[in-house]
Structure 1
Amino acid sequence: MTLTITHAAAEGTLIDGTSRGDGTSDALKANGWRWSRAIGSWYIPHSRDREPKTAIINRTAEQLAAAGFAVEISIDYARRATTDVEADLAERRSDRADALADRATRRHHDATEEAERAARALRRLPEGGEPIKIGHHSEAGHRRAIAKADAAIRRSIDADSEARRAQVRADIAASSNDARYAPITVANRIEKLRADIAGMRRRLDGSSRTLAGGYVEVTAAATGAYAERLERELAAVQDQLSYWQEVRAEQIASGAATDHSKDTINVGDQIKYFGSWCIVTRVNPKSVSITDAYGHRGTVPYAHIREHRVGQSEASS
């Protein structure tokens, strides 16, 4: 039997040709593969729309070959445009939110039914909390009724807890797309992407830095397969940066996000940061230093500023 390990941007890293009980699971689990019932295949987590994890792929292939399997590897290094990636991600998140909402509805229905069963079990108990008559012919039935009522109440409590947990998961899933596109989140993502690009360029071009004591640490430029990998990663991250910069530009144009910088804010101005007004004590390249109404000091990135007042002298909460 020939097993085929494939990698493509849209699907991630999968393995075809396995079957239950064929002896491949030990090697796959040992290398971090997981089974997905949804797609009916083993896969490497977090491999979709990313560089292939060649170390895991090659190690898995070697172990499977040592176990007597014929293994082929097919890797497509092409990356999808960020626009397509985000559209696909939004669709998957929407589908997941719908599925979790349906599950929450079913759990609430189950909880309601269990609560009704518990109420019926309680109504079957003697009225007024009548105690068990020890030695009476009704003792056994009375004890059984209490046990059934207790079990029904426990099932009702468990069902209600499960319904609450399902609802929380559904609510989180429903808001996941909004959270991903929150203005501050977008601004932070842009800064991270810029830092990632700078780091990749340093590794591609080589770099040096002076450490304590005057020692100069030199990093040689990347070569060979590593350089090729960095070039692919750099192109993908640059595309992501362009996409999110367009998103932020739209947010600024619509008023959903602010666009402050050292050119728009001066010392002595007030800025609103998470509900509190603070006095600007210093203007920095990427942030402002502030003092709040309680005398606490800190720094606030420009993208986190909610509102701005010019030349106010006192901070207020």
Structure 2
Amino acid sequence: YTYTYNLNILIIYLLIVLVQMFCKSWLLVGLFILLNILVLYFTAITLETRKWQKMARKTGNPYVAYPQNYRFILDQPKKCEQQKPFVVIIVPVAPQNVKARNAIRITWGSEELVRDKLVLVLFLLGSQSGNETLQEQLQNESEEYQDLLQSNFLDSYRNLTIKTLVMMEWLNRNCPQASYGAKVDADVLLNMKNLLHMLVSLKSLQHNYITGLVLSGNNVLRDPSSKFYIPHDVYPKSRYPPYPLGMCYIFSMDLPEKILHISRHIRPIFIEDAYLGMCLKRLGIAPKKPPNIGQFVVKPPQRFNRCYYSRRIAILTDSQTQLISYWMDIHSTKRPC
């Protein structure tokens, strides 16, 4: 009996040992499988990150350096003091795009007195390094028209935020007496009369005021293949704060100084109008929708309608030829709308 009892105890003990060994083996197998899964996961993440970084390098740097210590090569520092304009319109344009500048000069840029208010139109350029012939042409153009502002930052799409802040610097330094400033893209057909009507209709002079085609809740694009890609580490939020679309926005002249000051504390991104919205958000200033937001048009009807165009403020065009043609038609002596 004692022998049988001891044998049973031994068998039970062996079974327990075998079960433990079995469990440990499966535990080891499980740990090994888990380790392999983790290795595969982190390998995939690393490869994906490298792919995104490579694509991001192709599309360019998603952020820009704050524009400090730039200087003006061509300048009109006394223009505002001499002319005392009601509104100063700055047109950012590439240095080599003289056709765009001439198209504006012979159309809406030629309207200096509108509704008894003086309007000043100036073109803002960056530089093209190593192109001495172009720089000589710009010097001659500046002497002829006296409407060029050229700073020594590299003029490129990725530097549009720099261009915008340089614009704010120039306005803050040279045009504090003006009531309003405006930024208008070179491919925009601007209706000066309607713009001035909107501003005069505000009755009193505005402060902390900026308006245009205001966009709200725009998603931040995370796809590196996108032209507007912004990574999380540059801007972590999923949506941009409200901002006026860069094609045309109008602002009170107290804003340039405030935007410049707050921009020193906000990491710039190359999407200039979204960055402007980031600065406004930090300032606690909300862009105001214009009385008639339909007067700012990105996608106009395919067929030209002079009555439709004559009621807008800012409308995108496809070419300088189209801009000139439409402006001349709107301002012709044909039957008014």
Give the alignment's TM-score, normalised by structure 1: 0.27
- Higher relative CO (CA 8 A, sep ≥ 6), structure 1 or 2? 2
Larger relative helix fraction: 1
TM-score, with structure 2 as normaliser: 0.25
